[in-house]
Amino acid sequence: MRRDEFEENQRLRQLVPVDVDRNLSNWGAWRRTGQYVRGYPTHSTILENLGGCASADASDHVYEAQNNWRAKVADAVIDALEMQHRVAISHVYEAAVWEFKRRTIEEVLAEAVEIFWKKAQVKGLT
């Protein structure tokens, strides 16, 4: 991504409330990687069954599972949005390149994230 594109992307993300941005950013990363994690791919849980983790690395699978769940919920919500809203979110969080000829990206994005967040909260995202 060129510097001016990066700066534009960051400017647009400033229009999005923090909790919404966190979930959409997680969704965008999930969409770009296409990877799913099962089990303990790289770290042992060591003392997790005794009531705690031995290190931050030992709980990576817990965070990955939670992030994957959040991304799947966000994906389902986004999939149910109108096309213009899906495109605006995709443009900002998947680094896609779309043109907005009828309305500005700022207008469509603000509307899209408001609708997304209402629906996402109903499904359990916080």
Residue 50 in domain: no
- Reported as a single tens digit per residue, the pLDDT across 44-63 is 444 444 455 555 555 666 77
Residue-level pLDDT at 4 = 84
Query: Could you give the angle at the alpha carbon of 82 between the alpha carbons of 81 and 87, nearest 5°?
Result: 90
Residue-level pLDDT at 32 = 84
Residue 88 in domain: yes
Give the total number of structural domains in the chain: 1
Residue-level pLDDT at 52 = 52
Residue 96 in domain: yes
Residue-level pLDDT at 46 = 47
Residue 47 in domain: no
Residue 97 in domain: yes
Candidates 104, 123, 126; CA nearest to 15 is 104
Residue 43 in domain: no
Residue-level pLDDT at 51 = 53
Q: Which residues of the chain have pLDDT under 50?
A: 37, 39-41, 43-50
The single-letter code of the amino acid at 14 is: Q
CB atoms within 10 A of CB 73: 17
Residue-level pLDDT at 2 = 73
Residue 101 in domain: yes
Sign of CA dihedral 11, 125, 29, 109: negative
Residue 30 in domain: yes
What domain range includes position 102? 3-35+68-122
